[in-house]
Amino acid sequence: MITTMLHPLPFSVMPLIALNTDALFEETGLPLAVMGMFVVFSALLILIGCVSLLPRLMVVLDKIIPAHGHHGAQPKPKPKPKAKAKKKEAKGAEVGGVPEEIAVVIAAAVAQVMDQPHRIVRTRQLTASELAWTLQGRIQHHASHKLKPRNR
């Protein structure tokens, strides 16, 4: 009876975790990963080459197919007006330092408000110091917010 207990069991006991590195070096392991990386980087290098050659190819194509015959052609420049016409327009464009359209609007506003004949003597742009009313308005607005003192 003792001899039967010392004999090995008919089945083998497997460990719970078995570390085996044989699969890494077979067909589906590291060689496959390296081959995949090689293919991807090769494709990227081909794309870089094609994109870097595009400007040179466009120069060659521009010589073969000129730009004036297709939809990508540059528009013809418009003829420049003569200098004398510009001077006449510039003189009539401003009245007292204000554009003519603005002067007409000011005259219409004055005619609407006043009941008697009027004459606009001078027009000019306002300076920063004359626009100080906005700053004064902000000061009054902020001063209107009185804070309650804290009881300490």
Q: What pLDDT, on the 0 to 100 scale, is given for residue 57?
A: 93
Domain-located, residue 148: no
> How high is the mean pLDDT of the chain?
77
- Count of the separate structural domains present in the chain: 1
Domain-located, residue 100: no
Which tokens is 103 given?
A: 């002067």
Domain-located, residue 61: yes
Domain-located, residue 116: no
Domain-located, residue 122: no
Classify 98 as helix, strand or coil.
strand
Q: What pLDDT, on the 0 to 100 scale, is given for residue 71?
A: 64
Looking at the predicted structure, is the pLDDT value of residue 30 above 70? yes
Let me know: does 100 contact 92? Beta carbons within 8 Å. yes
Let me know: does 24 contact 31? Beta carbons within 8 Å. no
pLDDT-derived band at 148 (thresholds 50, 70, 90) equals confident
Range of weakest confidence among 15-24, 81-90, 108-117, 137-146: 81-90
Mean pLDDT, range 3-15, rounded to an integer: 62
Q: What pLDDT, on the 0 to 100 scale, is given for residue 152?
A: 65
Whole-model pTM: value is: 0.32
> How confident is the model over 57-106, as pLDDT tens digits?
998 988 888 766 666 666 677 777 776 655 555 555 676 677 888 888 88
Classify 94 as helix, strand or coil.
strand
Structural domain boundaries, residue 53: 25-69
Mean pLDDT, range 1-27, rounded to an integer: 66
Q: What pLDDT, on the 0 to 100 scale, is given for residue 145?
A: 79
Domain-located, residue 78: no
Q: What pLDDT, on the 0 to 100 scale, is given for residue 72?
A: 62
Q: What pLDDT, on the 0 to 100 scale, is given for residue 40?
A: 97
Burial 46-72 (b: 16+ CB within 10 A, else e): eeeeeeeeeeeeeeeeeeeeeeeeeee
Beta-carbon contacts of 97 under 8 Å, excluding residues fewer than 6 positions away, are: 123, 124, 125
Domain-located, residue 60: yes
Domain-located, residue 41: yes
